[in-house]
Each structure stands twice: as structure tokens, then as C-alpha cells.
Structure 1
Amino acid sequence: MSRRRRSTKEISDAASPAAGGTDPRRRVPRTDTLLAGPAAQAALAAHREAVVRAEVRGIQQAVRAGELAPERAEEALAGRLAELDTTSMHPVLNATGVVVHTNLGRAPLSEAAVAALQRAAGYVDVELDLESGRRSGKRGAATVAALLAACPAAEDAVVVNNGAAGLLLSCAALAGGGEAAISRGELIEIGAGFRLPELIESAHVALHEIGATNRTHPADYAAAAARPEARAILKVHPSNYRVEGFTAGVDLPELRRIADDHDLALIADVGSGLLTPDPAIPDEPDVDTALRQGADVVIASGDKLLGGPQAGVLLGRAEAIVRLRRHPLYRALRMDKLRFAALEATVAGSRVPVADYLHADAEELRGRAEALAAAVGGEVVVHDGRVGGGGAPGVPLPGWAVRLTGSPEELAAALRAGEPAVLARLHEGAVLVDPRCVPAERDAELAAAVRAARESLTPEFRESPCTGPDTDPDTDKEA
């Protein structure tokens, strides 16, 4: 039964002499008394005083409202302070099978990147020459060197705070005040209603749309390039959708020829962050190939298939990169020391979780799923993973999952509320728990979380009859 909050009059009446009571509001604990308690003193060692005082005020208000007995105030305060944390972010085990999961922060960082973040957290020589003691211009130089070593076709590189910033800077520096030709089939909207045309036009670049949604030809680009306002040709990879059927497009080598004929810059946004080709996703464009095919600047995201922190990675011809670095926007869009460190470690390091999950062996995943099913119940079913994050749309990553039915909505909620939190997949009346993106050393932890979630349900929801394999991943939602 829910408890109704009493009105002020009811509290007063209950506390009146006639009622034989005492108004609890007159016994609200003093602020200094609560702050002097052991729980508050311990919390003050880890949190700002303003944070602790806010919790104290909340307890006092509960006493004034008659929702909390004054003698229980210190105990209640201790409970609230025990739940305080210095960050609101909650670690989650990704059991969806989606490798680059935007809602979970995209790429999980490698051990090397995490160590680099910790090393860079204090004072570091980000813009200091330790030998001379003077300010240096080496900010991000080691990260750029690591990128150039990993992408031999690039002459130079610059890094900004995300992929959209990279596109904005490229258009502003190479086409500002003029036009950029773009195919209508590449006028992309990404997550949360964010549209690339609006971003590009904010850089004082007029987009000259050419061709049709499904077919654009060299003659369309040539006509656009001949316009007096033309400054650049923009080629954007539609990474979060596919156009199939009666289609036509123009590849980078042909665009390079057209750009040279009219002295235009050629900008390629490949999106998901592959530096070199990956046989697991052969149709996904990569930076090195785009540069060899003639792009002046290639834009990629650091926190997708590259597997690093959020970043906009721009590699290309030295002359073009210099123009980007000298543009006033670069100062506003540049990276901080933490992400420079993490990106350098990601590119130079040997093991990146995104690559491990992308190339996970299907038979190994099956063995892990079978062990999980033996521990928690359910049925092992074929389950294709996905790249996610707008990369390689529709490309399956063969794998397996444990299928749990019974009361999927309640089980999914219990998994998310557990410790650790587990995000699984809801599909056709079942919860699918996919081990692909869970580190193998955490399999026992995952099993324990699933068992705890099932045991937290009422008896009628604990049963998990299985109704057969489920192999269609395209009509689901996250659990």
C-alpha cells in the first residue's frame, strides 16, 4: 500500500496537545549536528561540502514534512551518503552483440589507453619542452606520428574532438565562402536528428546538391565543379544505411580527376574509423585506401572502429592539413591532453577491444554461450552480432547467444538494475544474452548477474521455457 503524504494541517493536528503529540518539525536536527556525525564526516572526506549539505537538507525536509521521524534522521542520512558517488556513470556489461554501442559510449578503451589516461591525468608535458623549459608546439605530435605510422598513405594529420568537428573544420578551411558539391544520396541524418547539411552550412559553405537520391554521375560533379563558386567536392560514406537496386555513384579516383580539372579540394568522410581495410567488413571504406585514391583530406571517428576515445581524425595531404591546422576553428575544436594520450595508445597499442569483438571466433562464442546456458538455464541460439555506431549497416557478425523467455520485460529490467548492470537484447518475446562484447574473464560475473536477476523476479516470472532458435536481429530493441 502506498503511503499518502500528510498535509501540514494533519501534522499540526497530530502534534497538538489535544492529540497528545509533539510537532516533529520542532525537533528537526540541526545542520551542524548532522554534519558532525560519523557518516557525514566520512562523506566530507570524499565529496565537496555543498554535496553533503544538500543531502542534509533533504533529510531535514523529510523530517519537516513528517515523512521521517527525527530520531531516525542520522541513520537515514548515513544511508543516503553511502549511495553518493563522484560520477553518475554506471558500468554496464554489453550483452547485446553490438560492438560499437552508441548508448554505452561506443568503443570500450584498451588497457593501454586506460593506462595512458591515468598517466596524463596529472601535470604532463603536453606543451612543454622539458629540455629547455619553454613552451613547445608539440601538442598532439606523438598522436599524429602514431596515426601516420599506422596509415602510410597520409602525409600529415590533425585531430579534433569528434567526427562532426572534423567535417566542420574541413569544409570551413577548404570550402569556406564558396560551394561544396555533394550527391543527394549522401545528405545524411545521424543520431538524435543531427543532419550533416546543417552542420556544413554553419561553416559558411553552400552545399550544391547534385544527382538523385539513388543515382549520381560524373557529369553531375563536373557541372558542379565548373561553377564559379565551387571550392570542394564532398564525398560522404552513408555509413548508417544502404541504398540498393537501381543505383549509381562516382568513386574517388574519378572525383580526383574532376577536382584536378577545376582546382578543387576533395574531402572524403569515411565515418567509422578504419585506417586500413578489414576483411571482416570488406565494403566498409578505410582511410588509407581513400587517400591512395586521391582524397585531399579523409575524416574518420576515433571512437568507432578505430576503437579509441571520441575524436575526429583527419589525415591527408600536407598542404590541406596545414590549412586545417591554421584555421581559427581548429583552436575551438582541438582535443584535450587526455584524449590525445588515449588515442595515441589506441593506435600504437596491440590489443583493442573493438577489434577483438569484431573478429571474435564464432565457435568460441558458442562455447561461452553453452557454458552460460548451463549456469543460468535457457537455450543457446544462433545470433548475429552487429558493428553498430553507424558502421557496416546490415553486415552480420556470426555468433551465438543464450535465449531466455518467460517474462522478458521484467527480466530485462532486473538485468539493467543489477550489479553489475547488464544490457541484453529483447527480441520476439525473449531476452538474448550475447557474450561477444563481454570480456571472457567476466563470464562468471555475467552468469551471476543473470542468476541474480532471475531470482529477483516473482515465482511466476522465473520460469524460462524456450520456444526455439531466434536468428533475426533486425526487429529488436535493447533490453
Structure 2
Amino acid sequence: MTDARRQIPRTDMLLADPRLVAAAERIGYQLVKTAVAAAQQAARDGTIAPESIVDTVVRSLPERATSLRPVVNATGILVHTNLGRAPLSSAAIEAIVGAAGVTDVEFDLGAGQRARRGRSAVEALADAVPTAEAAHVVNNNAAALLLVALALAGDGREIVISRGELVEIGDGFRIPELLASTGAVLREVGATNRTRLADYADVIGENTAFILKVHPSNFIVSGFTREVGVRELAGLGVPVVADIGSGLLKPHPLLPDEPDATTSLAEGATLVTASGDKLLGGPQAGLMLGKTELVERLRRHPAARALRVDKLTLAALEATLRGPLPPVRAMLATPTRDLLARAEKIAAELRNAGIAATSVESEAAVGGGGAPGVRLPSAAVSLPPEYAAKLRKTSRPIVGRTERNQCLLDLFAVDPEQDADLVRAVREAG
């Protein structure tokens, strides 16, 4: 009897199959070759037939040359850090595609010479915050704080900060340790729950570089509390740096307690730092807005080169600022009745398919270090709890949440165009 393993086609013959040639052009030769080798081994082991190797390879290949998979965020957390924070607008995505090739990111086409890097994005940021004299962009908000500390206090000068604002920003990283790594000296004042203006005034001296006002954006201290606002701090005669965190550029009616850049600067902050991929709804970036002299000093600091953003980020940021309403802000503006209507329509489709689904009222949150404690009215599709794990394994993964022995698919952060994907995934999981 002929050994079936002798029937296994050679690698070069398999790779010449038109379907695999097309796949190699799409995702790269090495990924396809690795998949072919795995399928050949499966044929040797007898788990697949030799003649089905190409079909097996085609089924196993990813759609893209990356392991990152698009998912539907049905958690009810609008800006979910583990899911990539803010989804970009179509304008920002188009801008990234356009910037992926050769661009004039640092070149003046009219003059035919070098120009300031990302000038259009920086101008768009400054235009969006009328109280800012100038703006600069680095790769995230932690980088912005790092650059400020290096430039203003890295020679052993003091940064004055309330003990109630010594925040851990995620994954074990803490603002005090970040700042101390620059060579700055932290001068902690007040108590965890109460800090007064006099606490700041008592420690300000010749060695004070600036006061840092940090918005505790991922927790709330309630009860017997007191904090000092930017307006009061600005009267102490030293620079005030306000880390507002979530990237809100102007006041928002749904988030009255969330600090914004426009107001913070109007109240006397010398500089405001914020994230670009939270409530602004753009790419990951550290936004810096404030006095021209200080912003220029930061821009020219040697560390600024190491912290700068790439052309794709600059393109996406400008499109977010100048283009249509990005998804995060559009989702914030969605009426609850629209969410409830969508939830009932989805639940009805699933019930018609024999799946136990109901529409329920829900509560969403901003997330991502923004508006802690604020609950936003929403709507969800309720399924049996076992769907939570099943939906994460479908061809278009759905990430929901488990609550009161239910799998809830909250629609607050789900684009209406994804409703059909959600229905298909639930049917696939069922």
C-alpha cells in the first residue's frame, strides 16, 4: 500500500496555487509559507487529506498581516482602554491612508524647503481651543507630563502637587514615579481628601518650578473633601500646569464636572495637558496647550524628539479636529430612545431566530480615565450568560459584559452600522 504521506505536494507547488499567490500578495509570503508548513504536517499526521492542504491553508490565513482583530465594543464603556480607546472617524481613517505614503509632513511645497513638522495639526489644535496661545503634540499624555517635568524641573527643582492627586494611571504606572524619574523633586501638600490653598502657598519658594493640578480621572474621593481649583492656584505667582486627562477641549453638557482645556486656560493655567484618544475622539497623542513661550520651550527641548508623533497620528489628529463629529462625541449625543429602539429591533431579530434575547435599559460609562462615577443612560440586548464567552470567539468578536447572570450587549459604544455584525455574531455563537 502506498504511504499517503508520499502524496503530500511539495512546498513550491503549493505556494504556486493562485489562491495562495494572492494571499501572499495581501498578507505576506512568510505568513502563507508558515501556514503551508503547518498544513503539510497535519497531512503527515493524518488529520487532513493531502488533497485538502490548500483549502486548509486558505481557511487558516488571517485577513490582514496583523494579529490585531477588529471587535465590537458592547461593554457600555465608551472609551475602553483595552479595546483601543476612541474609534476614529472615517475622515481620520482616510487621512491615515493618505499619509501612509510620501507626504509633506515636514516640508513646505511652496517654498521648497523644510518646514515645522505637523504644522497643520498643531494649528488645528490651537484653533479648537481659543484660549490657547500655542500648541504642541507628543505621543501620549504621560509623555506630555514627562516633557514638562524635564524642561521645567529636571534639574532638581520642585513640582508642587496635592497628595490627593498622586494618581496611578494604569498598568502600575504612577504619576509621582513618572515625574521623579526626570530628576524633579515632588513637594506633596495637603491630605488625601483635603487640600487647601494655604497648603500650596506655604511651600512655594525660589526652588518651585510649577504647581501641577491633576484631574483624578479614574476615581472619586467623596465625603469630607476639598480641593483647590486652577483659578485660585493661578493667583500664587508660579506657573500652573493642569493635567485634565480625558481630552475634553470645551465644556460638555453631559459631563459638567469634567475639566476642559478652554476653561482651564481661561482660569489661568499656564499649560494644559490631555489625551487625544479619549473624549476628543482622535488618535493616541499627548496634547499640550498654553503660553507661547512655554510651548516653544517644550518643543525645542532635546527630549521632544524622542517623544514626537508620527505622520499618521498628525494626519488623524488634524482630521479629527477639522472633520466631522468623531464617533465618541456622536455616541455621547445619541438619544437614549434611539438606543432602546435599536436594542428592541436586535432582540426581535434574535428571537425570530430562536434565541432568548430581550431589550433592557442599561447604564454606560465614559471609561478610559474620564468622568469617573458618571452613569449614562443606555440600552442593551440581554442574552443567557454563556454567550459572553462564545461571542468573543466568533469571526467578528463581540465584547459585552456579564451582569446579574446575564450577558449584556450594551449599544452605547456600538456604531449603528455594526448592529448587523452583532446579530450575525450572536447567531453564529448560538
TM-score tier by shorter-chain length is over 0.9
With over 3 angstroms needed to count, the CA separation of the structure-2 counterparts of 1:71 and 1:404, relative to structure 1, is closer
Q: Do residues 432 (structure 1) and 408 (structure 2) align?
A: yes
Identify the match of residue 150 of structure 2 among 158, 165, 172: 172
The correspondence of residues 295-444 of structure 1 with structure 2, limited to 5 A, is: 295-377=269-351, 378-405=357-384, 408=385, 410-444=386-420
Aligned amino acid, residue 353 of structure 1? P
The correspondence of residues 200-279 of structure 1 with structure 2, limited to 5 A, is: 200-226=179-205, 228-258=206-236, 260=237, 264-279=238-253
Aligned amino acid, residue 364 of structure 1? D
User: CA–CA distance in 2 between the matches of 1:23 and 1:402?
Assistant: 54
Worse-superposed segment, 376-385 or 424-433: 376-385
With over 3 angstroms needed to count, the CA separation of the structure-2 counterparts of 1:136 and 1:372, relative to structure 1, is same
Q: Does the 8 Å contact 1:147/1:347 carry over to 2?
A: yes
Gaps of 5+ in 1: 1-20, 457-479
User: CA–CA distance in 2 between the matches of 1:117 and 1:369?
Assistant: 33
SS of match in other structure, 2:244: strand
The correspondence of residues 74-223 of structure 1 with structure 2, limited to 5 A, is: 74-81=54-61, 83=62, 85-137=64-116, 139-177=117-155, 178-223=157-202
Q: Does the 8 Å contact 2:28/2:65 carry over to 1?
A: no
Q: Does the 8 Å contact 1:101/1:389 carry over to 2?
A: yes
- Map Cα deviations across residues 181-212 of structure 1 (whole Å, 9 max, x no partner): 11111111122111111111122112111111
Q: Is the radius of gyration larger for structure 1 or structure 2? A: 1
Q: Does the 8 Å contact 2:36/2:53 carry over to 1?
A: no
With over 3 angstroms needed to count, the CA separation of the structure-2 counterparts of 1:235 and 1:39, relative to structure 1, is same
User: CA–CA distance in 2 between the matches of 1:225 and 1:59?
Assistant: 69
With over 3 angstroms needed to count, the CA separation of the structure-2 counterparts of 1:48 and 1:284, relative to structure 1, is same
Q: Do residues 451 (structure 1) and 427 (structure 2) align?
A: yes
Gaps of 5+ in 2: 352-356
What is the aligned-residue RMSD (CA, Å)? 2.1
TM-score, L = length of structure 1: 0.83
Identify the match of residue 51 of structure 1 among 31, 54, 59: 31
With over 3 angstroms needed to count, the CA separation of the structure-2 counterparts of 1:56 and 1:401, relative to structure 1, is closer
SS of match in other structure, 2:213: strand
Q: Does the 8 Å contact 1:174/1:265 carry over to 2?
A: no
User: CA–CA distance in 1 between the matches of 2:58 and 2:395?
Assistant: 21
User: CA–CA distance in 2 between the matches of 1:211 and 1:397?
Assistant: 33
The equivalent of 1:7 in structure 2 is: none
Aligned amino acid, residue 32 of structure 1? D
User: CA–CA distance in 2 between the matches of 1:200 and 1:391?
Assistant: 21
User: CA–CA distance in 1 between the matches of 2:39 and 2:381?
Assistant: 44
Q: Quote how far apart the aligned CAs of 1:63 are.
A: 4.8
User: CA–CA distance in 2 between the matches of 1:301 and 1:350?
Assistant: 19
User: CA–CA distance in 2 between the matches of 1:70 and 1:451?
Assistant: 33
SS of match in other structure, 1:276: coil
With over 3 angstroms needed to count, the CA separation of the structure-2 counterparts of 1:77 and 1:346, relative to structure 1, is closer
Q: Does the 8 Å contact 2:163/2:191 carry over to 1?
A: yes
- Map Cα deviations across residues 363-407 of structure 1 (whole Å, 9 max, x no partner): 2222222222222243332211111111111101112222223xx
Q: Quote how far apart the aligned CAs of 1:265 are.
A: 2.4
Aligned amino acid, residue 413 of structure 1? A
User: CA–CA distance in 1 between the matches of 2:342 and 2:49?
Assistant: 51
User: CA–CA distance in 1 between the matches of 2:420 and 2:8?
Assistant: 47
- Map Cα deviations across residues 50-75 of structure 1 (whole Å, 9 max, x no partner): 33322233234445556555555444
User: CA–CA distance in 2 between the matches of 1:29 and 1:111?
Assistant: 45
The equivalent of 2:354 in structure 1 is: none
- Map Cα deviations across residues 301-320 of structure 1 (whole Å, 9 max, x no partner): 00000010101000001111
User: CA–CA distance in 2 between the matches of 1:146 and 1:133?
Assistant: 23
Aligned amino acid, residue 437 of structure 1? A
User: CA–CA distance in 2 between the matches of 1:415 and 1:76?
Assistant: 24
Aligned amino acid, residue 235 of structure 2? R
The percentage of counterpart residues that share the same residue type is 52
Worse-superposed segment, 435-444 or 234-243: 435-444
User: CA–CA distance in 2 between the matches of 1:248 and 1:434?
Assistant: 35
With over 3 angstroms needed to count, the CA separation of the structure-2 counterparts of 1:43 and 1:365, relative to structure 1, is closer
- Map Cα deviations across residues 107-143 of structure 1 (whole Å, 9 max, x no partner): 1111221121122121111111212322222x22111
User: CA–CA distance in 2 between the matches of 1:381 and 1:35?
Assistant: 51
